[in-house]
Amino acid sequence: MTHIVNLHMKCVIWWMQQECVFSVYVKTGSVLKAGTDSRISLTLGDAAGRSVQVPDLEGWGLMGPGYDYYERSNLDIFSGRGPCIGAPLCSLNLTSDGLGAHHGWYCDYVEVTSTGPHKDCSQTIFYVDQWLAADASPYQLTALLNGCKQHTTAPEIARTGHFVVGNHLGSASQ
């Protein structure tokens, strides 16, 4: 019996060592009615097609009990564990369920830092600059950003410290 328990513990430790920590920073726009009460989910992907899904990002929230996420001009912070995938993270699927009293949401950007056992830290900034709303252009509840085919070199990432996807010249909501 002791042998089975030891084997089980080794499997649990091995499995935990295969997980990475993802820190996610979400900036809501400053335009009127930019905030939302909808549920937000995201999927992060790498160039090999592997992904990490977070069905309810608020569940990873670090802002404390009773905090109102995704409000106008807020920078919200989230953290959670998921399977380690390749670096840099290069694709983002950001989705609103479109429900609630304030269903439209303007997202400026999503910044993600990931690291894990025997992995270098990776940072990607996804400039969303878009409404996730059925009643505002582009009339979609999902924003898809894919920079996996960008020709960003490792030295360029090393120089800037992060991988950038989308227009980083300035936000449309400012």
Q: What is the pLDDT of residue 156?
A: 55
User: Biggest alpha carbon distance in the chain?
Assistant: 63
- pTM confidence score: 0.83
Q: What is the pLDDT of residue 120?
A: 83
Residue 149 CB neighbour total at 10 angstroms: 8
CATH of 20-165, one of 1.25.40.10, 2.40.50.100, 2.60.60.20, 3.10.310.10: 2.60.60.20
* CA-based nearest residue to 24, from 65, 72, 70: 70
- Where in the chain are the domains? 20-165
Tens of pLDDT, residue by residue over 5-35, are 454 444 444 444 579 999 999 999 999 999 9
Low-confidence ranges of the chain (pLDDT < 70): 1-17, 151-162, 167-174
Tokens read off for 29? 């726009």
